[in-house]
């Protein structure tokens, strides 16, 4: 039965970057040279498999300690990242798996292909996950990541950022994005950010310092709300055509 009270908004193709953006040099070879082919969605794409909602560990949402040795903590500025996940009509999206991964406080990932000379932190793994509650709220603790250089234009640096993956009811319903931090000067000079032509979209990828949810003399909080569909949806890297 259709619900006439639900409003669906059309995709705004101009909201998303061009796939071939020479300033971001990797896109020259990665971007498609032929028109995209639309593959019809099957029932299996909508129904499964789904991952992890029922098997979260006690510290999966706490990257300060989830990789640390007993009694130890990760090094760096400790922060809380929280927000609300909503659909195109502002309704809460509950019970949604949120995965996050990031560099450490020095700007280095725990990955064999990361050759940046910043030191690794033996007590920081750089990944975690949580599930949104009945009101669409999510929250996790982590270390504020550092910026890092990347071999794009000779002296390009990525802003401090945290990668997000939002799961739906099946594997094909996965949205991937990244979050920046309010006031970071690297945002304005990053070639990857420059691919996003609308300043409003960049603003939606920027978390705000949230003193009302910080813990005095302990830990700062940043708020990052996520809209998964519609004209005002958060920009998702794996859905450049729109959500």
Residues 101-113: tens digit of each pLDDT? 999 999 999 999 9
Q: Where are the alpha helices (DSSP H) in the chain?
A: 27-30, 43-47, 191-194, 199-204
Q: For 2-35, write each residue's pLDDT tens digit.
A: 455 556 566 666 667 788 888 988 888 888 888 8
CATH of region 70-129+144-194+202-243, choose from 3.30.70.3190, 2.60.130.10, 1.10.940.10, 2.40.50.140: 2.60.130.10
For residues 63 and 130, what is the distance between their CA atoms, to the nearest angstrom? Answer: 11
Rounded distance between C-alpha atoms, residue 131 and residue 134, angstroms: 10
According to the model, what pLDDT value does residue 73 have?
Answer: 97
pLDDT digits (tens, 9 = 90+) for 173-182: 789 999 999 9
Can you count the helices (H) and strands (E) in the chain? 4, 11
**Average predicted confidence (pLDDT) for the chain:** 88
Who has greater pLDDT, 98 or 236? Answer: 98
Q: Residue written as tokens 């006439």? A: 4
Higher pLDDT, 36 or 151: 151
Q: Which of 43, 79, 71 is nearest to 170 (CA)?
A: 43
Is the pLDDT reported for residue 94 higher than 70? yes
> Residues in the chain, how many?
243
In the chain, pLDDT over 90 holds for what percent of residues?
Answer: 63
**Model confidence at 170, in pLDDT bands (50, 70, 90)?**
low
* Active site residues per annotation: 109, 148, 158, 161, 163
Q: For residue 67, count other CB atoms closer than 10 A to its CB.
A: 19
In the chain, where are the structural domains located? Answer: 70-129+144-194+202-243
The pLDDT assigned to 2 comes to 43
Alpha-carbon Rg of the chain, whole angstroms? 19
List the single range of 133-137, 216-220, 234-238 with lowest mean pLDDT.
234-238
Instruction: Decide if pLDDT at 240 tops 60.
Output: yes
Selection from 78, 124, 127, 80 nearest residue 101 by Cα? 127
Residue burial 176-210, b: 16+ Cβ < 10 Å; e: rest: ebbbbbeeeebbeebbbbebbeeeebbebbbbeeb
pLDDT of residue 83: 98
Half-sphere CA count of 214, side-chain side, radius 13 A = 14
pLDDT of 65 strictly over 80: yes
168 vs 49, 85, 99, 137, CA distance in Å? Answer: 10, 12, 12, 15
Cα distances (angstroms) measured from residue 203 to each of 62, 144, 167, 193, 196? 26, 19, 23, 11, 10
């Amino acid at each position: 039965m259709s619900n006439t009270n639900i409003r669906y908004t059309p995709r705004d193709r101009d909201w998303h970057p061009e796939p071939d953006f020479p300033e971001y040099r990797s896109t020259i070879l990665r971007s498609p040279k032929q028109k995209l082919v639309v593959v019809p969605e099957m029932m299996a794409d909508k129904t499964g498999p789904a991952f992890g909602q029922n098997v979260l560990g006690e510290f999966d949402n706490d990257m300060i300690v989830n990789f640390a040795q007993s009694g130890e903590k990760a090094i760096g500025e400790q922060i809380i990242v929280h927000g609300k996940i909503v659909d195109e009509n502002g309704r809460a999206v509950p019970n949604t798996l949120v995965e996050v991964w990031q560099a450490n406080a020095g700007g280095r990932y725990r990955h064999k292909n990361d050759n940046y000379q910043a030191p690794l932190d033996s007590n920081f793994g750089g990944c975690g996950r949580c599930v949104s509650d009945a009101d669409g709220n999510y929250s996790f603790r982590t270390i504020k990541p550092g910026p890092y250089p990347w071999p794009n234009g000779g002296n390009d640096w990525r802003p401090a950022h945290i990668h997000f993956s939002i799961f739906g009811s099946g594997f094909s319903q996965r949205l991937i994005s990244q979050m920046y931090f309010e006031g970071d000067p690297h945002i304005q000079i990053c070639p990857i950010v420059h691919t996003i032509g609308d300043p409003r979209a960049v603003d939606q990828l920027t978390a705000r310092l949230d003193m009302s949810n910080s813990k005095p003399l302990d830990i700062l909080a940043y708020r990052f709300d996520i809209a998964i569909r519609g004209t005002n949806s958060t920009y998702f890297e794996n859905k450049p055509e729109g959500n």
